[in-house]
Amino acid sequence: MKREWFVTSDQTKLSLAIWEIPAPKCVVQIIHGMNEHMGRYQEFAEFLNTQGFLVGGDDHRGHGLTAGQREKVGKADYDIFEKTTQDQIEITQYLKKTYNLPVV
């Protein structure tokens, strides 16, 4: 897995995890749930890699490496749903453009 920082349209930095493989069929974008982070999907992503899928996903605002310090984990703005939804749209676009593959 590689990590990179993805900067959203409102200039928020999100930690993006990508499990790359040679010649993938498509990209599977994982959108984690509450109280989670992409590290919890390591085994699942590696399984998807064995099936021919490149895998990507971010630690949402207030989660995992995006949150940074432990005391910031779980902290969110009142409009977190809207922001997270927009973040996922932007990440989908980034993955499509970067890998020139369908994203599912």
The C-alpha atoms of residue 32 and residue 26 are separated, in whole angstroms, by 19
Residues 6+ apart with CB under 8 A from 15: 3, 5, 6, 38, 58, 59, 64, 65, 66
Please report the pLDDT score of residue 72 as a whole number: 59
If one counts the domains in the chain, the total is: 1
Please report the pLDDT score of residue 80 as a whole number: 76
Q: What is the CATH number of the domain that holds 80?
A: 3.40.50.1820
Residue 18 domain flag: yes
pTM: 0.90
Please report the pLDDT score of residue 62 as a whole number: 86
Please report the pLDDT score of residue 76 as a whole number: 67
Residue 74 has pLDDT above 60, yes or no: no
Please report the pLDDT score of residue 35 as a whole number: 82
The DSSP symbol for 10 reads T
24: containing domain: 2-99
Residues 1 and 43 sit within 8 Å (Cβ to Cβ) = no
Residue 11 domain flag: yes
Chain segment 14-72, per-residue pLDDT in tens: 999 999 999 999 999 999 988 889 999 999 999 999 999 999 999 999 888 988 766 55
